[in-house]
Amino acid sequence: MAPASAARSLRAPSPHGFPMRLVPPPLSFPAAVRRPLRYCAAVLALALCACTPRFDWRTIQSGEGAYAALYPGKPTSAARDVTIAGRKLPMTMEAARIDDTLFAVGVVTLPADDEALRREALAAMQAGLLANLGTPSGEPRARPVTVMSADRPGRPIAGVEVQASGVSPQDQSPRRLTARLVAVGTRAYQAVVLESGDAARDARQAEQVEQFLGGFHPF
């Protein structure tokens, strides 16, 4: 058993007659320790900010365009005419912009369910995308790709994926285009991701590009 003198040294008298525990003083870190702690806190704060999601993914079904797509934000709609096979045809487009990246689906309604017309439409749409890219940086790359339809079970549809880079003639900023084109029945589709400025230099957004293109399904 500890001596009574040692026990008394751990307690102090209380005004209520009960022993009172001695509260140790607050910990005090030397400056050499405080500086690394402040640095770690700052790094953690930056990491939490970097993890803040910019992409709010949601599935959009277009009854007019006959497709489903996974957009990273709420899309807006627009319409214009395009020239295909020497005739003006209507194109509807829904697009969402996240910072300097545009995610869009364009649909051209064809006058007939004709295979040759579908091929002409896809060629014209691809040429239009490349023309709007600006001054090309190298040769565009194209590869065959399979796009699954939106019905269940999904049907495989043969399409083409195009990748190209360019420079904007307005501000000389870089641009990077990734698009999938496919045609079904009387509709021709283009699912497009156009990255501009710093986004066009950053390879870390490849996952979001693939998520959008892989989430596009015509009916």
Q: Six-digit token pair at 99? A: 């910072």
116: left (phi over 0), alpha (psi -120 to 50) or beta: alpha
Is pTM, for the whole model, over 0.85? Answer: no
Query: pLDDT averaged over consecutive 10-residue blocks of the chain (219 residues)?
Result: 43 43 46 46 40 78 94 95 91 96 97 95 95 90 96 93 93 94 97 95 90 97
| Cβ(137)–Cβ(169) below 8 Å | no
pLDDT at 53: 55
Q: What's CA 8's distance to the chain center, in Å? A: 68
- The amino acid present at 191, given as its one-letter code, is A
Residue 202 confidence (pLDDT): 86
First-residue to last-residue Cα distance in the chain: 85
- Strands 20-21 and 174-184, bridge-based pairing: unpaired
Q: How far apart are CA 173 and CA 103, in angstroms?
A: 18
Domains annotated for the chain, with CATH where assigned, are 4-50 (no CATH), 58-218 (3.40.1000)
**The predicted structure's pLDDT at residue 169:** 84
What Cα–Cα distance (Å) separates residue 28 from each residue in 33, 34, 162?
A: 10, 9, 61
Strand bridging mode 156-167 / 174-184: antiparallel
